[in-house]
Amino acid sequence: MLEDVVRGVREYISDKFMSPLGASMTASWCAWNYKFLLVIFSSDTAIRKIHLINLIYQDGLYAWGHLVWGPLATALIYIFLYPFPSNWVYSYSLRRRMEALDLKRTVENQTVLTHEESQALRKKFTDIELHNTAETLRLANTIDSLRDQLRLSIEEKNALTEEYNLVQAQLAGRPPQGEDLAGTDQPKREDASKYPGGLSKVQWQLIDSVGRYDGPMPLGVLSAKLSIGAQAAWFAADELSAMGYADPRVSIDQEGRDERYVTLTPDGLRLFMSTLE
């Protein structure tokens, strides 16, 4: 409890003395009463100090002037009058400093680079130019590579489209689109009843080829056997799978590549065996 009281009093006194009036009044009072401070902090005895203080302030007018009115007047002058010359001096000093900085910048801008500095600056510009040139070449090579990939993709797409049209034409029993039939006799559409199960020529050739093959038939071998593209053969196998005659499968080898095979379902095997009887 006592510590809190002491701390509160100390903070109160500190706030008062830290204010402009308190600080200036304290400094002014010490200046006016320096004799009193010399006596207080001297090594004389207490009785001698009291007598000396009485001698200093024996005159009442002197005592009131040094103890109250003199310090108060000095503090008020410091607070109200001192800022005017102080601000003028500070403004003058700040202007001189700004002029010095402007002069320094002007001289620095007009200073000619030395030979070493110019060489270093030229080398830096050369390095930047080489870096930009290398980056431009790298980007140009990347663009050329992407253009080649795009061209190959377009060619592959066109090839797949042509192959798809070919197998559609073969499955429908008609010549592929785009062929010029002028001046030639258009072949008659093959009779669907010519092949078992009402299948088309390509579908029946697929069942016959897979049935005569020992085990699951790879798609590449089947495509070569039918003389059509791999995509066309796989499309025909999908159609036969929907009809329940074929079973196209995809497996992955040890290197992670897709391998496609085609086998016959029991119905497809029975359809193939019926032609051998």
Question: pLDDT, tens digit, for every residue of 32-74?
Answer: 988 888 888 888 888 888 888 888 888 888 889 888 898 888 8
- Backbone φ and ψ for 261, nearest 5 degrees, come out as -130, 155
Q: Which residue has the higher pLDDT, 253 or 231?
A: 231
Residue 111 has pLDDT above 70, yes or no: no
Q: What is the DSSP string of 167-213?
A: HHHHHHTSPPTT---TTSPPPPPPPGGGSGGG--HHHHHHHHHHHHS
Query: How large is the average pLDDT for residues 99-122?
Result: 78
- pTM for this prediction: 0.33
What per-residue confidence (pLDDT) applies to 182?
40
pLDDT digits (tens, 9 = 90+) for 167-206: 777 676 554 444 443 444 444 444 444 677 778 888 898 9
CATH number for the region 192-274 comes to 1.10.10.10
Q: What does each C-alpha distance from 94 to 85, 100, 106 come to in angstroms?
A: 14, 10, 18
